[in-house]
Amino acid sequence: MKLDIQFEALWRNVAQMGAENCGIDIGKVWSDEDLNFDTQLSTTGIEIDLSDVVIDEGLLSYNERQVLLFIPEHNPQYKPIEDVITQPIKGNRFHVADCEMLERMRAKNRYERYKVINNISGKFPVYGISKTGQLLEGEAALIVCKYCLSKLNYKGAQSNPRSKNETAVNFNLQEFFSNYSSLFKYYPKTHIRDVKKGYANDWDKISLRVRSASNFSCGHCNVSLIHHKGLLHTHHINGEKSDNSESNLIPLCADCHRKEPYHDHMHVKHADVQLLNRLRREQGLLEDNDWSKVFKYADPACHGVLLHCQKQGYSAPNVGYEMVNDRGEVIAEFELAWPLNKVAVALHKAEPIAGWTLLGLNDATKFFEQGSR
């Protein structure tokens, strides 16, 4: 039996009290079946009816979890399994988006060869017939599909072939999943498994002291979180969790914290990103919407669209834009907006608004490619 209990009111009180968010969601009581599903999905992958894979803003998801598609079997005639294990560049590519290659595979009725997985280690289970005719199984650090990178304009891959090659070679799945975490309800368990390891036993007290000394303001973006203390964390500047010297600790809001190097394990909920940008705007921190600030404050899931717009010469958009009606009531919030042009980008589906063009991530790049300004 699975219970689905809502704890929104409780978490609002916890946030105001300033308690640390340890990444444990008690809003779901997991059954053994759920736990087995996540374990298998994050290790060996699972075989499903691939028509059940949901395409959300060009990304791939299943059961509200972001997933990858890969083909574990390798044809010995073209890709000897021994070579794939030792030289992954010779193996099958894995997919992170609904790219044109997947469209071709569907057209050829070869789509069912894929499995879904959300293991962020970068190692994929593979198998095939060896050069000696024996079945051989192993793991390989397969390379990401370049068509997927272009589809998302991930790190500018669409407009810069050289960047696309470098991004593919240096692709980091943990960083990728973190960048798009706002789009999905669940985070891969391997992201958060070891997050709390290494902290001092009295870390909560140390963190509260650091945050209190700043009057609960972020050391990077300066947003005041005096009424939302749970969204302010304490960051180890040198990355060493055991070094709690005063010079090594700085208070950072959840958004700035997750954007620090080696913090790709952090999952910041979409609602929290919206709240942080709402507070930044109310406190006058987003008045100058130049490109540097836009990239600093925008949800990382929007960076592919932003890179394209910047390269095409568009003006910098407003971040965390609030749509207000005639009575001064906020009726919608958008990640990015060009108010003069009445164009906005939303990470989650928004209700139509008369006179406005509302875009999802998947539509935004196509829209801006057409030269609409």
Q: Which one is predicted more confidently, 128 or 350?
A: 128
- Mean pLDDT (the chain) is 84
Give residue 3's pLDDT: 47
Residue range 117-140: average pLDDT?
A: 92
Residue 190, pLDDT > 80, answer: no
**What percentage of the chain exceeds 70 in pLDDT?**
87
Instruction: Give the up-direction half-sphere exposure of residue 25: CA atoms within 13 A in the CB hemisphere.
Output: 16
Give residue 9's pLDDT: 55
12-35 pLDDT, tens per residue? 555 555 554 443 333 344 455 566
256-267 pLDDT, tens per residue? 998 888 777 777
Is pTM beyond 0.75? Reply is yes
Give residue 200's pLDDT: 84
**Where do the domains of the chain lie?**
3-24+196-264, 32-191, 288-369
Q: Which one is predicted more confidently, 12 or 134?
A: 134
163-186 pLDDT, tens per residue? 788 899 899 998 899 889 888 887
149-161 pLDDT, tens per residue? 999 999 988 877 7
Residue 51, pLDDT > 80, answer: yes
319-364 pLDDT, tens per residue? 999 998 888 888 889 999 999 999 999 988 888 899 999 999 888 8
Give residue 188's pLDDT: 78
Give residue 194's pLDDT: 54
Residue 197 pLDDT level (bands cut at 50, 70, 90)? low
> 51-55, 109-113, 232-236, 305-309: which range is least confident on average?
109-113
